[in-house]
Amino acid sequence: MKKYLAKRVVYLIIVFLVVSLMMFFVYNLIPSDPALVQLEPLRKALKPDEWQRQYLALRAQLGLDDPLIVRYARWMGFTKDIDGTFNGIFQGNFGYSLGYKRDVIDIIGAPMLNTTILNLLSTIITLMITIPLGIYCAVHAHSKADSGIQAATVVGYSLPTYLVGILFIYLFAVLIPAFPTGGAKTPGSTYVGLHEFADRMYYMALPIIVLVFTGLAGMTRTVRAAMLDTLSQDYIRTARAKGLREKVVIYSHAWRNALLPVSTSIMGWMIAVFTGGSLVIEQTFALNGTGKLYWIGLTTTDYELVLAMQMFYTLVSLIGVLLTDISYTLVDPRVRIDK
Amino acid sequence: MKLKRIVALVLALVFALSFAACTKGGGNNGGKKPSGDIKVIIGNSTQANGDWAYGAFASSINATDQDVITLTDDCATVQSNENGDFVINDSVVDKYERTEDDDGNATYTFKIKEGLVFNNGDPIKAENFLAWLLFITSPAGMEMGVTKATYAMIPGGDAYKNGEASVLAGARLLGDYEFSVTVLKTGTDGNDYLPYYYDLSYAAFQAVNLTYWFGEGWSVADDGEGAYMKNANGTEFTKDAIEETVVAAQFATSDRVTAGPYNLVKFDKTANEITLVANDKYCGDFQGQKPTIKNLVIVKAEDETVIDTISTGGIQIYSGIADGDQVNALLDLIDSGKLDSSYCKYDRAGYGYFGFACDIGPTQYTEFRQAVAMLLDRNEFANTFCQGWGSVVHGPYCTAFSMYEDSKDFIAKNLNTYDYNPEGAVKLLKEAGFIYNEDGSDYEDGSGLVRYKRVSADEAKYYEDFCKTVDGQIYMPAMINWCSSEGNSVSDLLSTMLANGKATKDAGIEIVQNVMTFDQLLNYLYRQDIAGLGGDYSVPKYNMFNLATGWSSGAYDFRFEFTTNQDYIDMGYNVNHLYDEKLDKLSMDMVAVDPDDYDTYLDMWQQFVLRYNELLPQVPLYANIYMSVYPNTITDYQEGPFWGYSRAILYANPAK
């Protein structure tokens, strides 16, 4: 196990480095110039020669005239920065946001918290609904209930999150004013403790409901398909022939085997949701999340911010894949990762 | 059965949590009356960055940050009134004097009222008004990213900025409550700063708390040579000494030491919410006005859901709504009584337009530019785009300016409105010489082909790829290479009504739309010859751009915008590349008059507008009428073109 993990971590680092190199080069191909952005306000205030002098000095100060590979090494923290210190990603410096005029690390904290809470809760609730529902559909395959659920999931699958968000706001915030239309807390409230938590949850309820609703269809169908496949296996027939109770057949024999493809799907889906998948929800409900921050970074050409977030997403994805592989051993005793 | 129970349990959990919070947390603001002091929730479409530094430093252009700065830091010697005019702030200034020396340099001397205090009780003295100037002109300020060359207009500014002098000679601390600042007639950058019609804007100094911004022990001193920053323990005013404190003050999320009408209680980054409370130590604005609305909350508004949020009380004040659909939806809600709010409306201090590069291709000919303007029904365009909430202007002005008010007859009598007139456009094209086919034969009206004009090699410069050469003669097409930004609804409508309009094609003009990012558009507009951009934008390529312009104050200053001086063109001025001596001179002379000489100023303003209208470097398209909605829990709320919510709320009162 340890050997396997060590090997996977090495792979993970290699993939991370390759992705970081590619990302850095791609973003630096975009015609944008941090020195220009910084000095643009002075353009109309300085004579062209003076402006050009300051511009070139700033480019040198920022190290923009060096070859891309040298800049990449500095950005990662492999070589010394212009100021003579190691000050890159590996030293915890994720860059400087030109838009926010702050270190990226100082910006992403609050959005990260929102996105994590939003996605964690919606994921847990979605799984709590979809797993039993998927199993039920598979066990009662082709029944009226199954057909109805299948039809509903097709509709749910086809509806874009944006549309569901707007529709739910209209239904549950305007028509039936049960929830607020957006935001993260009661404006101006100074609640503390449990009261504050309850207030935050109240504001997050509708976005969570929308995320759960839009996540139901896909995961229900995945669980159903995996279960159907398992239930058709010979060992299930054998189990039933042995006279085992149906619940034992389904939950002990079928479900554990069906979990393998399901767990892969769950992890893939979770990674997608965490790495910007809630952008639309954050935008619709005026929530300050990482998806929205990423979007702002892209639209304002704040590429150091975007790059840092991209690397964060890369890391989350790689760790997610590793966890998925490890989780195989938990759900399927046939899988041995130490061999 | 068990499955049903699990599903029911989960749903019950979600809803129970929500409704529990609803009852405990106060729930939807729409159904809740404010208790105690009145609270107003303001929606802003721009997400706050939380950068509270003043303009010259870090150049925060975030609209919400700027509003918060206006609401919290508003103890300045000069303010802007509801018409956008600069006025002395009588709540702060006890005595003001402007003197001029023989060289034409002006000195602004202020005696500050005694008894003014910051929100923490610290007294406000003359040094507090000089400190920021000393910072933004200092080597420390420059190193920390000051983006304004204020030093160039102040005597001794260059030496102070470069660290060659320890004092800023042009700034003087004359006593505890008295200071002066001198502005050079001609700055060290060669620019003429005086006379200037809006020169009172030079005398706007904001009071800042020295301890809060720079740390313990700092004061402003003057030994007779000029003002300078001095620390009680002898520390030099360097970046290393002050940076940490400055950055902390710049991005503080609470407890800011300020002297404006409101105090920042908290900037909640997680919720994207700014909470402000009235500052009971505020001295009042230039009219002595103090806030009576005690609590303000600024929240982020999303365009897609803002009407629903307003209708449910999540947002109570929403300013500057330009979208006709949103305006009409809100009016319906108000008229039907579903929304207990009122609204005010006002003209936008700006306009949308498409401009030409007047030095390449067919747009270098005035008649051609005029013809293009006549191929677009601008009234219809403004109506469609603004959905009835907009109008058309015929020159570089907005209807909010007093000059416009005083020139209505002049404008009606003298300005060409370039009404939709395809026949007239064809006539102008012929006058401009667009009378050929691409093979040099005579153009036949109604042929559906693109017109050509016989031009010299010099005229065809940068347009060679589009020109045809027949028997040694160069023919330039009536073709516009249009640079438009992506996701732009003005571009979409222009494409439909002008570029692909029947009248345009019938007239023999082709407009090719090139969609790109806004950054790229700006690179082409400014013809950036910049190493780091990875492309050569300095070679003129496009000759039409659609943009918008606006004024944040009543200062109408077009200096250098039509300059013929190559130095200034290289600096990014005159993006229309219209090299007209008369227009250039008018734009420069117009503001170089005595502030009291309104008649001369007005006369030159009219001549400038007339010349612009004749040469037509830009075609104004629409000027929005903005609507702002506010709750009926407050009265006396009136926004204006130069008077946003951050100003209007000061004059609002709780409804009885």
Quick: pLDDT tens for B83-125.
999 999 999 999 999 999 999 999 999 999 999 999 999 999 9
Taking only the tens place, the pLDDT of each residue in B368-409 is: 999 999 999 999 999 999 988 998 999 999 988 999 999 999
A100·B520 Cβ contact <8 A: no
Range B634-639 contact pairs with CB under 8 angstroms and sequence separation of 24 or more: B634/B38, B634/B40, B634/B293, B637/B317, B637/B342, B637/B344, B638/B344, B639/B319, B639/B320, B639/B344, B639/B346
Statement to judge: residues A261 and A161 lie in one domain: yes
B520·A47 Cβ contact <8 A: no
For residue A8, the distance in angstroms to the closest alpha carbon of chain B comes to: 35
Q: Does A43 touch chain B (CB under 8 A)?
A: yes
pLDDT greater than 70 at residue B593: yes
Q: What pLDDT shows up at residue A59?
A: 83
What's B626's DSSP letter?
E
Q: Is residue B274 part of a domain?
A: no
CATH at residue B357: 3.10.105.10
Q: Give the nearest chain B residue to A133 (CA atoms).
A: B3
Statement to judge: residues A93 and A135 lie in one domain: no
Q: Which residues of A touch B24 (CB under 8 A)?
A: 195, 198-199
Spatial separation of the C-alpha atoms in residues B324 and B338, rounded to whole Å: 19
Q: Is residue A285 part of a domain?
A: yes
Q: Does B297 touch chain A (CB under 8 A)?
A: yes
Q: Give the nearest chain B residue to A56 (CA atoms).
A: B531
Q: Does B316 touch chain A (CB under 8 A)?
A: no
A286·B519 Cβ contact <8 A: no
Q: Is residue A24 part of a domain?
A: no
Q: Does B1 touch chain A (CB under 8 A)?
A: no
Q: Is residue A136 part of a domain?
A: yes
Asked if residues B74 and B285 have their Cβ atoms less than 8 Å apart, the reply is yes
Across the interface, of A51, A201, A296, the residue whose CB is closest to B17 is: A201
Rg, Å, chain A Cα set:
25
Q: Is residue B438 part of a domain?
A: no
When the pLDDT of each residue in chain A is averaged and rounded to a whole number, the result is 85
Q: What pLDDT shows up at residue B531?
A: 57
- Optimal mutation site among B14, B40, B295, B296, interface A, most CBs of chain A within 10 A: B14
Statement to judge: residues A176 and A245 lie in one domain: yes
Q: 3-state class of B38 per DSSP?
A: coil
Confidence band of B12 (pLDDT split at 50, 70, 90): very low
Statement to judge: residues A81 and A131 lie in one domain: no
In the listed set B217, B238, B259, which residue is the last one of a domain according to the structure? B238
Judged on CB neighbours under 10 Å (0-12, 13-18, 19+), B433 is middle
CA B209 vs CA B118, B119, B166: distances in Å: 7, 10, 21
Show the domain range for A131. Answer: 109-331
Statement to judge: residues A300 and A322 lie in one domain: yes
Work out the percent of chain B whose per-residue pLDDT is above 90: 78
Confidence band of B56 (pLDDT split at 50, 70, 90): low
Q: Does B299 touch chain A (CB under 8 A)?
A: yes
B173-232 residues touching A, CB cutoff 8 A:
189-190
**Dihedral sign (CA A61, A67, A73, A76):** positive
Statement to judge: residues A177 and A82 lie in one domain: no
Q: Does A181 touch chain B (CB under 8 A)?
A: yes
Taking only the tens place, the pLDDT of each residue in B544-556 is: 999 999 888 889 9
Nearest to A108 by CA among A319, A308, A317, A318: A308
Q: Does B22 touch chain A (CB under 8 A)?
A: yes
Across the interface, of A36, A133, A189, the residue whose CB is closest to B530 is: A36
Q: Is residue A76 part of a domain?
A: yes
* Cis peptide upstream of residue A111 (ω within 30 degrees of 0): no
The predicted model gives B56-65 an average pLDDT of: 69
In the listed set B238, B262, B281, which residue is the last one of a domain according to the structure? B238
Q: Beta-strand (E) ranges in B161-302?
A: 171-175, 178-183, 218-222, 227-231, 262-268, 273-278, 295-300
Domain count, chain A: 2
Taking only the tens place, the pLDDT of each residue in B432-469 is: 999 999 999 999 998 999 999 999 999 999 999 999 99
Q: Is residue B192 part of a domain?
A: yes
Q: Is residue B331 part of a domain?
A: no
For chain B, the residue count is 656
In the listed set A62, A79, A107, which residue is the last one of a domain according to the structure? A107
CA B535 vs CA A33, B486, B532, B538: distances in Å: 11, 19, 8, 9
Q: Give the nearest chain B residue to A180 (CA atoms).
A: B28
For residue A313, the distance in angstroms to the closest alpha carbon of chain B comes to: 20
Q: What pLDDT shows up at residue B375?
A: 97
B305·A181 Cβ contact <8 A: yes
Q: What pLDDT shows up at residue B36?
A: 44
Q: Is residue B251 part of a domain?
A: no
B533·A180 Cβ contact <8 A: no
Confidence band of A337 (pLDDT split at 50, 70, 90): low
Q: What pLDDT shows up at residue B15?
A: 46
Q: What pLDDT shows up at residue A321?
A: 82
A227: left (phi over 0), alpha (psi -120 to 50) or beta: alpha
The structure's pTM equals 0.85
Q: Is residue B537 part of a domain?
A: yes
* Token pair recorded at residue A86: 């190691």
Q: Which residues of A touch B7 (CB under 8 A)?
A: 129, 132-133
Q: Which residues of A touch B270 (CB under 8 A)?
A: 110, 113-114, 184, 288
Asked if residues B490 and B352 have their Cβ atoms less than 8 Å apart, the reply is yes
Q: What pLDDT shows up at residue A215?
A: 85
Spatial separation of the C-alpha atoms in residues B167 and B229, rounded to whole Å: 8
A180·B152 Cβ contact <8 A: no
Q: Is residue B398 part of a domain?
A: yes
Statement to judge: residues A80 and A221 lie in one domain: no
Spatial separation of the C-alpha atoms in residues B97 and B108, rounded to whole Å: 6
Stated as kind and residue range, the H or E segment containing B477 is strand B473-477
Taking only the tens place, the pLDDT of each residue in A33-83 is: 778 777 776 776 666 677 777 788 888 888 888 888 999 999 999 998 887
Work out the percent of chain B whose per-residue pLDDT is above 70: 92
Q: Give the nearest chain B residue to A191 (CA atoms).
A: B25
The predicted model gives B297-309 an average pLDDT of: 92
Confidence band of B80 (pLDDT split at 50, 70, 90): very high
The predicted model gives B639-646 an average pLDDT of: 95
Our measurement of the distance from residue B509's CA atom to the centroid of its chain's CA atoms, rounded to an integer in Å, reads 34
pLDDT greater than 70 at residue A277: no
Spatial separation of the C-alpha atoms in residues B529 and B569, rounded to whole Å: 12
Spatial separation of the C-alpha atoms in residues B412 and B426, rounded to whole Å: 25
pLDDT greater than 80 at residue B7: no
Q: Is residue A296 part of a domain?
A: yes
Statement to judge: residues A176 and A74 lie in one domain: no
Strands B479-485 and B510-516: parallel
Q: What pLDDT shows up at residue B16?
A: 44
Across the interface, of B25, B47, B305, the residue whose CB is closest to A186 is: B25
Taking only the tens place, the pLDDT of each residue in B193-220 is: 999 999 999 999 999 999 999 999 999 9
CATH at residue B165: 3.90.76.10
For residue B28, the distance in angstroms to the closest alpha carbon of chain A comes to: 5
Q: Helices in B390-488 by DSSP H: which ranges? A: 402-405, 408-414, 422-431
Work out the percent of chain A whose per-residue pLDDT is above 90: 22
Q: Give the nearest chain A residue to B301 (CA atoms).
A: A286
Taking only the tens place, the pLDDT of each residue in B240-280 is: 999 999 999 999 999 999 999 999 999 998 888 999 999 99
In the listed set A67, A84, A107, which residue is the last one of a domain according to the structure? A107
Q: Does A36 touch chain B (CB under 8 A)?
A: yes
For residue A236, the distance in angstroms to the closest alpha carbon of chain B comes to: 21
B555-594 residues touching A, CB cutoff 8 A:
560, 567, 570-573
- Optimal mutation site among A122, A139, A164, A202, interface B, most CBs of chain B within 10 A: A202
CATH at residue A196: 1.10.3720.10
Confidence band of A6 (pLDDT split at 50, 70, 90): confident
Q: What pLDDT shows up at residue B4?
A: 47
Statement to judge: residues A138 and A246 lie in one domain: yes
Statement to judge: residues A83 and A214 lie in one domain: no
Q: Give the nearest chain A residue to B61 (CA atoms).
A: A99
Judged on CB neighbours under 10 Å (0-12, 13-18, 19+), B343 is middle
A277-336 residues touching B, CB cutoff 8 A:
283-288, 296, 301
Statement to judge: residues A154 and A245 lie in one domain: yes
Confidence band of B166 (pLDDT split at 50, 70, 90): very high
Asked if residues A271 and A119 have their Cβ atoms less than 8 Å apart, the reply is no
**Could you tell me if the ipTM is greater than 0.85?**
no
A170·B19 Cβ contact <8 A: no
A187·B41 Cβ contact <8 A: yes
Spatial separation of the C-alpha atoms in residues B467 and A325, rounded to whole Å: 64
Show the domain range for B217. Answer: 72-238
Statement to judge: residues B357 and B234 lie in one domain: no
For chain A, the residue count is 339
Rg, Å, chain B Cα set:
28
Across the interface, of A113, A170, A301, the residue whose CB is closest to B519 is: A301
When the pLDDT of each residue in chain B is averaged and rounded to a whole number, the result is 90
Statement to judge: residues A305 and A196 lie in one domain: yes
What would the DSSP string read from start to end of A151-209?
A: HHHHHHHHS-HHHHHHHHHIIIIIIS-SS-SS-SS-TT----HHHHHHHHHHHHHHHHH
Confidence band of A314 (pLDDT split at 50, 70, 90): confident
What's B547's DSSP letter?
E
Asked if residues B249 and B212 have their Cβ atoms less than 8 Å apart, the reply is yes
Q: What pLDDT shows up at residue A327?
A: 76
Nearest to B479 by CA among B442, B521, B429: B429
Q: What pLDDT shows up at residue B17?
A: 45
Across the interface, of B18, B152, B272, the residue whose CB is closest to A288 is: B272
A288·B41 Cβ contact <8 A: no
Spatial separation of the C-alpha atoms in residues B287 and B80, rounded to whole Å: 11
For residue A113, the distance in angstroms to the closest alpha carbon of chain B comes to: 8
* Token pair recorded at residue A249: 């057949």
Confidence band of A244 (pLDDT split at 50, 70, 90): confident
Q: Which of A140-154, B50-64, B163-177 has the highest mean pLDDT?
A: B163-177
